[in-house]
Amino acid sequence: MPRPEIDIAGVFAPHDHKTCASRALDEAEARLLAEGARLTPVRRRTLEILLESHRALGAYDVLDRLAAEGFGRQPPVAYRALEFLVQHGLAHRLQRLNAFTACLHPGSDHNPAFLICRSCDKIAEANAGEVREALADVAGHGGFRVERATIEALGLCNACAEAEA
């Protein structure tokens, strides 16, 4: 049971998202405290914006929100905040989407596989341990040493699959 409270199904099913989000925010604060990094107003607000849903937002979507709330309105404002969050494990970047999503369990170090529902656009993080193992294995047979890997799956979540039927 690697991730006790939030799991894949939990993201896609209706749930008490307020609790879900505030828990993630708490964990984020704890982690930054431990690392001695500062969760400044822009950064905090950026994280909150990402945490509003389980979807991914483009940098410019975030920027619009920030600008509307009185922060700077130039791209670097958003990109810097997002980069900070990603670097401290509080958010993830989705390569397929050129977009960012909040990490739901920033407490634990991880490197998840992403599950992107093509219907509701929500995003779940899956434990990628075995996937990475399989990847390292096949790569290793060819003499290639994997250092980092992007694993992003597009598909249909349970809730949307039921809705379609």
Partner DNA sequence: TTCTCCATGTTACAGAATAACAAGTCAACC
Partner DNA sequence: GGTTGACTTGTTATTCTGTAACATGGAGAA
Among 31, 43, 54, 88, binds DNA (CB under 7 A): 43
Determine the Cα–Cα distance for residues 22 and 78; give it in Å rounded to an integer. 21
Residues 7-66 that bind a second copy (CB under 8 A): 7-9, 12
Contact between 157 and a second copy per CB under 8 A: yes
User: Which of the ranges 52-60, 104-112, 129-137, 152-160 carries the binding residues for DNA, by CB under 7 A?
Assistant: 52-60
Contact between 126 and Zn ion per CB under 5 A: no
* Residue 157 marked as a ligand binder: yes
Q: At what angle do helices 59-68 and 41-51 cross, to 10 degrees?
A: 120
The tokens describing 124, both together, are: 């779940």
Partner in contact with 77, chosen from a second copy, Zn ion, DNA, none, beta carbon below 5 to 8 Å by kind: DNA
Nearest of 58, 50, 150 to residue 103 by alpha carbon: 50
Determine the Cα–Cα distance for residues 32 and 40; give it in Å rounded to an integer. 11
| Secondary structure (3-state) at 159 | helix
Residues 129-148 that bind a second copy (CB under 8 A): 130-131, 133-135, 137-139, 141-148
User: Which of the ranges 68-76, 85-93, 116-124, 130-138 carries the binding residues for Zn ion, by CB under 5 A?
Assistant: 116-124
For the chain, the residue count is 165
User: Which of the ranges 95-103, 113-121, 134-142, 145-153 carries the binding residues for Zn ion, by CB under 5 A?
Assistant: 113-121
Determine the Cα–Cα distance for residues 153 and 98; give it in Å rounded to an integer. 15
The tokens describing 48, both together, are: 């909150």
Binding site for Zn ion (CB under 5 A): 17, 20, 117, 119-120, 157, 160
